[in-house]
Structure 1
Amino acid sequence: MIPTEATEISLSDGEAEIVFFGARPDPTTLIGRWEFFDLVDWRGQTGSKRRGESRPNAHGGFQADSVWRESRAVSFGARFIGVSLVQTRAAIDELSAIGAERPVTIKVTEPEGATTRLVTVESVKPLDRRARQFATVAVDLFAADSRRYAVADDVLWATTGAPSEGAGLVWPAVWPLVWPGGGSSGRVELVNSGLAPSAPVFRLLGGFSSALITCVETGGRIGFARPVPDGSIVEIDTAERRAIMDGQSDVSQWIRWREWDVVPGRQSRSFQFDPVDPIGEPKMQGRVLSAWW
């Protein structure tokens, strides 16, 4: 177990949120609120998924070109001191309900900042056998992606319009020359300040008949081959390999090329936006969450 100095934990499913506060010397300050202890496996590295293949007529085995990491189990203990038995039981019921049917986001706040993971709640086990106002539970979570990420609400979207030319200089000109501005490269630069690779998310704001996203450094392409009317938004999640239009319709079948790129740790990537048959002022927004192991 890698030690952590977490000061707060929260579990959120997008509609409800439960906050667990760090241990206090005086437990009476936490009456009516959850307290956590023994956060396990939040930091550190998970095992490799590689299974060795021996060399038939030589020492050792074959060396892998890349390494893939296993998922992660996260757990912590929690206490609740209620003003009554009824309040304590209601708190346990609320904790048992969050994440019962869908994944939740766990956010852990430490002195250097907060990071998150998407997890499923494996179990919430009350450890007290007696009915009383003081309750202790064990919370077991499972993160399919072992990385932890920056808090999404803290990361801004980078925005660009379609590529456009700047204004030219009219000759003859009078010195000193003042070159006109304007124009757009049609690119966004996404920076991953963490130590683990992270997959970007893009938003395509209509209108256009189709669009192409190209990673400048690698040449990787993601195309969207369906008209998007002015005012509609298509969000492409490269980690999930999925596209959603206007927050409700799955339009992943219209993704073309699917040459998915990640932003390596401590690096940046630039992405070019090229809409076809633009209507109005189509734009592309991009964001990558810094990631750590």
Structure 2
Amino acid sequence: MNPSKITLGTIELPSYSATGWSFRGLVDWWGQTADKAEIVERPQGHGAFPARGSLRTSRAISFIANCINGSQAAVESGFDDLSSVGAEGPVLMTVETPAGASWRVVKVESVKPTHHRGGSRYGVLAVDLIAPDPRRYADGAWQQTGPAVQSGGLVWPAVWPLVWPVSGSSGRVTLQNPGRAPSPAVFRLLGPFDSALITCVESGARVGFNRPVPAGSVVEISGRHAVIDGQSDVSRWLQFREWTDVPGGESRTFQFDPVGGTAAFMQGKVDPAWW
């Protein structure tokens, strides 16, 4: 693998740069992490007992960051910039390759200088990260629907010239996951409506939101939480909470049923995921 750029929070690190930041030695971005299921050997038979499913451990990621600037003071300022990324919480890490970009949310474990001499304009830092979710994601495409609307149909005998009625709407979106690992569906509910219900057609799993949302406001339901207008946590108004992951290489269809909101819309997406 030959990544062309890493972005950690607000810091961009290309694979090569004559000045500023660059990186080398990216470790554990690809591949599968260890299985957490314990192997229990059969005491009176060959082999082990069958494992119940498979759960994967978190992922330890690391790379080397190089900083080249015009003076020792500039290099040390660069050290301070990179050391501040992720100091107060998880950040987004994106890796770009000729095949495209993929990302994870990571926790910065440490940023340690490994090479820097007094007066030098060159410095090296070892960056160690933990991804609690071991999956690697790419950005999915949003699909949109309004409430289900029945088509009026055309009444016969018809009078020419014909005027066709407005076509109906199923009130559904079909979300595909072209990745190889299961990935959760994400939804945006656009007001106005009094309450709304999202149902997975294949499984019947439901997620509801029981609070009026005015016109112009948006509720995003992601990661088992709900946020309105990108600011306030409104998770306490979620109902049912029957969360659905879309398996790798498959799709799921979701029905949108708002109450008191004929002008409401739902947007949904699945970010493709890989191990």
Q: TM-score, normalised by structure 1?
A: 0.88
C-alpha spacing 1:81/1:36, structure 2 compared with 1 (3 Å): same
Residues 1:10 and 2:3 are matched in the alignment: no
* Deviations, residues 1-32 of structure 1 (Å, cap 9, x unaligned): xxx211111111xxxx1111113xxxxx522x
* Deviations, residues 23-51 of structure 1 (Å, cap 9, x unaligned): 3xxxxx522x1111110001010000101
Moved more, 39-48 or 61-70: 61-70
Partner of residue 82, structure 1: 69
The alignment-based identity, stated in percent, is 53
* Deviations, residues 208-255 of structure 1 (Å, cap 9, x unaligned): 221110111111111112222222211111xx2111122222221221
Q: Does the 8 A contact of 2:143 with 2:173 survive in 1?
A: yes
- Among 104, 107, 129, the residue aligned to 1:141: 129
Structure 2: 5+ residue runs without aligned partners?
none
Residues 1:111 and 2:98 are matched in the alignment: yes
Partner of residue 183, structure 1: 168
Aligned pair count?
274
User: Offset at 1:58?
Assistant: 4.1
Name the SS of the counterpart of 1:199 in structure 2: strand
C-alpha spacing 1:172/1:22, structure 2 compared with 1 (3 Å): same
The separation in 2 between residues aligned to 1:129 and 1:5, in whole angstroms, is 26
Q: TM-score, normalised by structure 2?
A: 0.93
The separation in 1 between residues aligned to 2:155 and 2:192, in whole angstroms, is 33
User: Offset at 1:81?
Assistant: 1.3
- Where do residues 1-293 of structure 1 align in structure 2 (5 Å cutoff)? 4-12=1-9, 17-23=10-16, 30-31=18-19, 33-55=20-42, 58-131=45-118, 132-150=120-138, 152=139, 155-173=140-158, 180-237=165-222, 240-278=223-261, 281-293=263-275
User: Offset at 1:139?
Assistant: 0.5
The separation in 1 between residues aligned to 2:193 and 2:159, in whole angstroms, is 41
The separation in 2 between residues aligned to 1:223 and 1:199, in whole angstroms, is 16
Name the SS of the counterpart of 2:30 in structure 1: coil
Say what the alpha-carbon RMSD is for the aligned residues. Answer: 2.0
The separation in 2 between residues aligned to 1:250 and 1:171, in whole angstroms, is 52
User: Offset at 1:179?
Assistant: 6.5
